[in-house]
Amino acid sequence: EPEVTQTPSHQVTQMGQEVILRCVPISNHLYFYWYRQILGQKVEFLVSFYNNEISEKSEIFDDQFSVERPDGSNFTLKIRSTKLEDSAMYFCASNQGAAGYTFGSGTRLTVV
Amino acid sequence: QKEVEQDPGPLSVPEGAIVSLNCTYSNSAFQYFMWYRQYSRKGPELLMYTYSSGNKEDGRFTAQVDKSSKYISLFIRDSQPSDSATYLCALPPNAGGTSYGKLTFGQGTILTVHP
């Protein structure tokens, strides 16, 4: 079964450093997303991406965040200057239709 | 008012019990709803997808929608230890039925089924 692949599974970074989280969505999907889940809290939407541009973003997705699809397969989330409160699980998802949302296993980001 | 609310539990039941998980939502225009299951340190996976009111059954799982009360439920029959996970209700991108866009998740209910 097709899956969304995320790397790395765990990233530890120092406060103020830049991190790039990587995702390979399902190949024939056209919409891509990043979600975040702080420990013990709900899964929160960050951004959606379609046709090489952001289609929607939440208030969480400020200037410190950016997304990119550098080639035909990868989809990345960059955090320019990490803060302690950025520590969370970050999930990439892609979809084709409402029943077709598929999430990756996530990257656990720890900012120290 | 939050778009969707869900009792976070935790819920602990013995193996074989019937489990009832519930969410309420605020916008009566929504037409379909989703339930996701999330195992520890994994991403959410779609469990069930229901449209409009009534019941939908899939094996041991039944999803129920009561649009008059804006209440959605997931029932698990003959619960198994492997059902231990967090269960998340989710609203689709918008009430108009567009298939693309953000999902809005409930808080998630942590379920433990003990042998």
- At B61-73, the pLDDT tens digits run 999 998 889 999 9
**C-alpha–C-alpha distance, residues B95 and B28, integer Å:** 8
CB-closest option in B42, B49, B104 to A98: B49
Least confident of A1-5, B72-76, B110-114: A1-5
CB-closest option in B41, B46, B88 to A99: B46
Report the percentage of chain B scoring pLDDT > 90.
Answer: 58
Distances in whole angstroms, Cα of residue A66 to Cα of each of A19, A46, A62, B66, B83: 11, 10, 8, 40, 36
Q: What is the dihedral of CA B63, A105, A54, A51, to 10 degrees?
A: -90
Best residue of A3, A42, A56 to probe chain B, by most B CBs closer than 10 Å:
A42
